[in-house]
Structure 1
């Protein structure tokens, strides 16, 4: 995701130095959130037998990971603010929402909100870092937020039963697997449509092709496959979809600066 956001920053006209700051801020923010999540979920992951987690296997000590998460967050703050005050505050709001998710919001019906904020504020981070701090295009924030909701749903799908057993009752767990799949498809397809049709200028053949690819990816990400209910492929497909949508925007020469809608 840091590569996608950095590419959008470059296409939007952000100076090379600030593009590097954007890359560093997004990367450290993501690392802090991921490491925080692993530390908070240690007991649940252990109970679920998550052998893909270093904490569960004993390859990494909990204190080490906690220190790493705090260090990444401490680095994220100055890197974000160095892009610009408003830009930095927007990015840190998204990172803070993700930490709030890890620390308890995931257990509530508002579990989708941190993902919507986190993804939706990434284009705001880029736009507000431009000279004059122009407001981000509405279509970019909306498209990002819809992608975030879809990412939340596809990320949770493999673990719904284990989450319920552990007392985690976010929105997907309350909806159940079938309804969560439908909602994920709607969110991802809506995101694809917004990011194709709403930016300035005609989509052109490349834009419509990208819509077809992202739409198909969205459907594949949520279609039930027997024996693969616990696969991580739906979430990975969502990330691929986000990269495809961003690539289509770059191919059309659409950035996030003034005149982008």
Structure 2
């Protein structure tokens, strides 16, 4: 019984539970806000959840040897809570479940979501160690509004500014996510965009991308910004700036990444307020 509890805890920690639940919840909130029925938004949330689980588990499984080399005890595999083989199996099971759940939302939406998940896997497998490390985040996040919109009746395509805003949010999330691990990553040969930019420039670029995402949502739709849009931009800017200050002064803090999720929540609220202007 105790061993089963350790395995469950190991799986929960190795799937990157916080970001997994955040992306799932924000996608579901956007779907509900845009008028998706209960069955549809539950399907979308299930597809995103399994996709995110597969990405999180594959990340820890693929990185296991690097994490063991530097004794990164914060990782469940290194801490002995669960084995790499079990995490690998969980990643493939989640990926297998993600396929029918995604396609159940419609072949257009499902195909877009599976492309987003494939891009995230490409990051884990190879691209995280290259100067293109930002690209899978930009693509995966950028496709989420398309996934939600294409699943709606009539299969509308989201406006270009919505895709660009989500992509910028992904770039900001990527930079904020890797900042606490820059030194450990360099030791194991990982040299993504943030590593090449250096801590200072990456810490400043992350909030700039987040603020750019919110600005696109406020200014992108035709006509005057919706009521409360400027307030949302100010709030998002304050959160992003706080994340930058923390990243520059507390090098191993993960708070900037969680502040990125807060900016994403503000953006989802604004997207829901925009409503019909989001799609065409």
Residue 43 of structure 1, CA deviation: 2.0
Tell me if structure 2 keeps the 8 A contact 1:32–1:72.
yes
**Residue in 2 aligned with 1:43?**
65
**Residue in 2 aligned with 1:2?**
24
- Of residues 96, 106, 109, the one that matches 1:84 is 106
Partner of 2:143, secondary structure, is helix
- Of residues 29, 35, 48, the one that matches 1:26 is 48
**Residue in 2 aligned with 1:236?**
258
Distance of 2:37 and 2:149 partners within structure 1: 12
**How high is the TM-score relative to the length of structure 2?**
0.87
Q: Say if 1:26 and 1:259 are closer, same or farther in 2 by CA, change over 3 A.
A: closer
For 1:53-64, what aligned pairs fall within 5 Å after superposition? Answer: 53-64=75-86
Residue 260 of structure 1, CA deviation: 3.8
Distance of 1:192 and 1:241 partners within structure 2: 8
Deviation track 1:161-185 (CA, whole Å, cap 9, x = no partner) reads 1111111111111111111112212
Distance of 2:179 and 2:212 partners within structure 1: 19
Q: Say if 1:13 and 1:76 are closer, same or farther in 2 by CA, change over 3 A.
A: same
Residue 134 of structure 1, CA deviation: 1.4
Q: Say if 1:14 and 1:259 are closer, same or farther in 2 by CA, change over 3 A.
A: same
- Of residues 216, 229, 232, the one that matches 1:210 is 232
**Residue in 1 aligned with 2:158?**
136
Residue 52 of structure 1, CA deviation: 2.4
Structure 2: 5+ residue runs without aligned partners? Answer: 1-22
Name the count of aligned residue pairs: 258
Tell me if structure 1 keeps the 8 A contact 2:203–2:247.
no
**Which has the higher mean CA deviation after the structures are superposed, 145-154 or 221-230?**
221-230
Distance of 1:227 and 1:43 partners within structure 2: 30
Structure 1: 5+ residue runs without aligned partners? Answer: none
**Residue in 1 aligned with 2:243?**
221
Distance of 2:248 and 2:32 partners within structure 1: 42
Deviation track 1:91-123 (CA, whole Å, cap 9, x = no partner) reads 111100000000011111111000001100000
Higher RCO (C-alpha under 8 Å, 6+ residues apart):
1
Q: Does residue 192 of structure 1 match 2:214?
A: yes
**Which has the higher mean CA deviation after the structures are superposed, 223-232 or 55-64?**
223-232
**How high is the TM-score relative to the length of structure 1?**
0.93
Relative to its length, the structure with more helix (as a share) is: 2
- Could you list the structure 1 runs, at least 4 aligned residues long, displaced by more than 4 angstroms after superposition: 224-227
